[in-house]
Structure 1
Amino acid sequence: MSKFRLKLTGLFVIMIGFSVLAAGLLMGNSYQRNHQAALRDHMIRELHVLNAAAPWPAMENSAEQSLYLQHEAKRFKEIAGMRVTYIRLDGKVMGDSDHELSTMDNHLNRSEVQQALKSGTGSSVRKSETLNRKMMYVAITVHDDQGTANKGIIRLAMSLGDVERSLNNMWLALVFGLFLLFALAAIISYRVALSVTRPLERMTSAAIRMAGMDYAIRVPEGGRDEVGELARALNAMAGSLQGQLDEIRQNGTRLQSVVDNMINGVVMIAHDGRITLYNHEAELLLGSSVRERVGRSYTEIRQHFELVGLIRSGLENPLSIHEELTVYFPEERLLEINIVPMTMNGDEEPGLLLVLQDVSAIRRLERMRSEFVANVSHELKTPVAAVKGFAETLLAGAMNDPETATSFLTIIQDESDRLNRLIGDILELSKIESRRSPLMFSPIDLPMFLDRMTELLASEASKKEITLDIQTEEGLFLEADEDRLGQILMNLIQNGINYTPAGGKVKVRASIIVADDGEDELVRITVSDTGIGIPKKDIPRIFERFYRVDKARSRSSGGTGLGLSIVKHLTELHHGTIRVESTVGVGSQFILELPLLQP
C-alpha cells in the first residue's frame, strides 16, 4: 500500500473520529448541565416545602433558636435524605443535619449564600471540605410574616455522585462506540483511498518512464471524471513530447546560451553571416525587428555601415573586438560593442556573439563631470588671479598711495567674499546631491515665513529702490524643511532683485491649488520680477550648474552660477517641481509647486 493511500485513509479516519468525539463531548456536557439544572430546580422546591413545614422560629433567644433549627434539620435529613443547613444573615450556622455547629465556620462568603442574599435564591457546585465529595448547594432566603425583611437562609446540599457515575457510563459507551466506528471508517476509507490512488499510481509510474525519455508509454484512460481527464492529458502530452523532442534538441544549446530579456542587446551571427538570434533590446538599439533580421545576412543592416564593417572584420579574423560606435538610427546613441567568436551547433567554423550596450547616458555624465571640473577651475581661478594680481601690485609699491591701496584692498575683499560664496555653494550642492543632509519636515506658517524672508532682503532691495510685494492666503501652512525652503526662496527672490533694474518690483504670491490627479493639494509659490528677462533659447538650461545667460552681469551681481541648480535639487527633494516663464525686457516668473503634505 502506498504512503499516499495510507495518509488519505488516516485523514478520513481522523476526521470521522474527531467528529464523533466532538459530538460526544457536547452531548456529555449538555447532559451534565441539564441534569444539574433539573436537580437545582427540584431542590429549590424542596426548600420552599421545608420552609412552609418548619418556618424560621420567632423566638428571641439565640441558643433556643439554634437548638430548634438543629432538631428540624436532622428531622428533614431523615425524611428527604439531603443535608440541611440553617444560616443566620451574618453567616453563622444555626443548624446543620450532618455536623456539630461548633465545628463549622462562618458561611457568609459561600457563593450560594451571597447569591441568595442578593436575589433570593442561590446555587453552586463544588467539593465539600467537610464531606470530601462534590456537592450541589442550593439556598433561599426566609422572610418574615409580612414578607418585607429577611430572617435567615436555608440551604440544601446533595451529592453529585449519581450524576458522575452516569457520565462515566456514558463515556465508556462513547469510547467503545468510537473504536467500533474507527474500525468501520478505516475499512471504508481504505476502499475510497484505493479507488483514488490506484489510477494516480499508474500515472506516476508512467510519468517516471516519460522522464526517462520513454514517450511510448500510455495510461489507461478510465472514465469521464477528473482522473480520466488527467490520464488523457498525460497521454496527449507524451505524444506531443515525442514529436517535439528533435526540435527541442536542435534549439536547446542556442536557447540556453542567451536570454532574450537581457538589458543589453544580443545578436548571434552564424559563420555564413546569417543572423540566428536578435533579442528585444537589439531591436530598440538598432531599430529593426526580429522578423526583419533573423535568418537574413548581416549585410542587410544598411542603416549601420560601421557596425557591418566590424562584423565583417570579426568573421574574417575571429578575435574579440571592443569598440564604441555612434549610431544615428532610430535615434542618435553611443553604443559599446563587444564582438566575441562563438561556436554554435557544432559547426567547425565559429560564428559571432555581439553584445550591445547603450552608454550614451554614462558618457554624458562623464562629460558633465568634466565640464563641472572645468567650470569650477575657471570660477576659482578668476577671483584667485584677481587677489594675486592686486596683492602683487600693492607689494610692488602701491601701498604708498593710500587711495589706490584702499581701492585694491576693497577689490581683494570682494573677490575673497565671492570665492568664499563659490566654495560654500559647491559644498552645499555636493551635500544636497549626495543626500548626506536629510530633510527635516515640519509644518511652516507660510505668511509668517515669507515676512521673515522680506525682512532679510529688505535692505538689499532698498539699495536698488526695488519694491518687494508679498501676498499669500491667511492661515496657509506647508509641510517642508524650514531651512531648505528658506534657501529656495532666498535664491529666487535674490535673483529677482539682482536682475531687476532700479525702481522695479519683485512679487511673491502663494496659494493652494489642486494637483492634476484631482486629489492631492499643492502649494504654488510664484516669484516674479520686472527684470531683464531670459531668452527663450536659454530657458531649458537655466537650472544647470554654472550656466549664465549674461555672464558679465552675473559676475557683477556677485552670483556663483549655482543658485538655481541648488533650488532645482532642493525642490526635487521636497517632491515638488519648479519651472520658469520669461519674456526678454518684460521680466521672469519662477513657479514653485510643493505638496501641501509630504508623501
Structure 2
Amino acid sequence: MLKLHDIFFRKFLVLFVSIFLTLGIIFYFWIRDICIDETRRDLVHNIDILSLQIQKLEEIDNLTKMVKNKIGLRVTIIANNGKVLGESDQIFETMDNHLNRAEVRIAKTEAYGSIIRYSHTLEKELLYVAKKYFINQEPYYIRMARDVEIVNQRFFYLALKIALLFLFFMALAFHIALKISKEVQDETKGILAFLKQLSKENKAMKIESFYSQEFNNITKLLTFISKQLSKKNLKKSKYTAKLKLSNRQKDDIISAISHEFKNPIAVISGYTQTLREEKALSPQMKKKFLAKIASNTDKLTDMIDRLRLSIKLEEGKQALLFSPCKLHTLSQEIIEDLMATYKNRSIEIQAEDITLNVDSTILAIAISNLIENALKYSEDKILVKIDTKGLSVIDKGIGLHAEEINKITDKFYRVSSNSWNNSLGLGLSLVKNILSIHDFSLEITSTENEGSEFKIIYGVKTTP
C-alpha cells in the first residue's frame, strides 16, 4: 500500500508529463507559425525599405548584392514580364523567367505573396516574400527570401526559452504542491496518531485542525466520536461493574443460603436418621425429635419466604393492600407473638394513638424483624416507642460499630465481628424495602457494647 505522499508524487509526475507533451505539441506548431509570421513581416518591412532606395534600374543588381552583404537576405528584382533585373546570389542574366513563381503570382492580386519552397538555385529551402512596386510608373516585383534553417534556429531558441520557463513554473508548482502534500501528510499523521491513541484509551480526547475546512470538520467529528465512545465505554464499564456485582450477589446468595440452610438441614437430617435407626425410642423422645424437625422446617420455610418477599419487593411484583392501621394495636400483636418464643424476656411499649395508611401485613414483618433483632442481641428489657415522629425499637445490647451502620441494611450483608446474624443477610434489607414502599425510612443509632435504636421515620404520604 503506497503512502499518500508517494501517490501524490506519481500522479503529479504523470500529470506533468501529460501536460508537457500536450503543450509541447501545441507550442511546437504555434511557436513555429509565430516565427514564420515574424520572419515574413520582417521581409515585407525590408522590401518596403529597399523600394525607397531604388532610384535607377541600372543600379538594381548592385543594390541587391549590397543588401545581401548587410542583412544576409536573398534579393531578386523582377520585371512585370517576369524577367529578372537583379539577383543577389546569381548572375541575373542567366536566370529563367520568374513570372510563374508562386510568390510572384500571389503578389499580382494580393498585398504581397509568400511561400516556403525549395530553391534549386541555392539548393535549400527558403521563405519567399514578393511585393509589387511601381518605378517610373512601371510595375516591378521585389522579392526577398530567408533561409528556413535560420528560421528554424530562431524557432528552436524561442521554443527552448519557453520550455525552460514552463519547466521553471512546473517545478515551482511541484514544490508548492509537494509542500502542501507534506502538510496534508502531517495532518493525516496527527489524525492517525489520534485514532491509535483512541483505540488504546477509554477516555474522551480532543483533536483540532485549522489547516482546511475539511480537516477541521474531520477533527470535530473525531472529537465527537471520541466523546461518544467514552460515554459508551463508561456505560459498558458501569454495566460490567453491575454484572460483576450481580454475580457477586448471586455468589453471596448461594453462600448465604448454603450457610443458613446448613444447620437446619443438618438438624432435620440428624433427627430423621435417629428416628429411622433407633426403633426402641420412647414415644416422648420421638415427639421431642419430631418437634425439633418441625421447628427447623419452619425456620427453612421462613427463610425461603423472606427471600421470595425480598425479591418481589425489589421487582415491584408484591401485591399491596393499604388501609388505616393503628400502630399500637399492630405492635402489641407482634410482641404477643414474639413472647411465645422469647418467654423469659421483657418488652415494654410506650405508644401514642397513631393511625397510618399502610399494608399492615408486610409492615408487621418489618416491625417484627426489628424487635426480634433487639431480642437476639440484648439481654435487657426492649423498649418499643411510638409517637407522631416515628416508631423506635431500643435495646441495650452489643451494638454496632460505626462503620457497619451504613452497610447493615445492604442485601446479603452479614456482620461477623460482633456476632450479628442478619438472618440470611436479608433481615434489615427486607425491612428497608418494606419501609421504602411505604415512603418510610430507617434511622439507626448504635454504640458498641451500649445498645442500638432502630427508628422508623414516617413518610409524608402516610403521616397522620
Give the alignment's TM-score, normalised by structure 1: 0.37
By percentage of residues, which structure has more helix?
A: 2
Give the alignment's TM-score, normalised by structure 2: 0.47
Higher relative contact order (CA 8 A, sep 6+): 2
- Larger Rg computed on CA atoms: 2
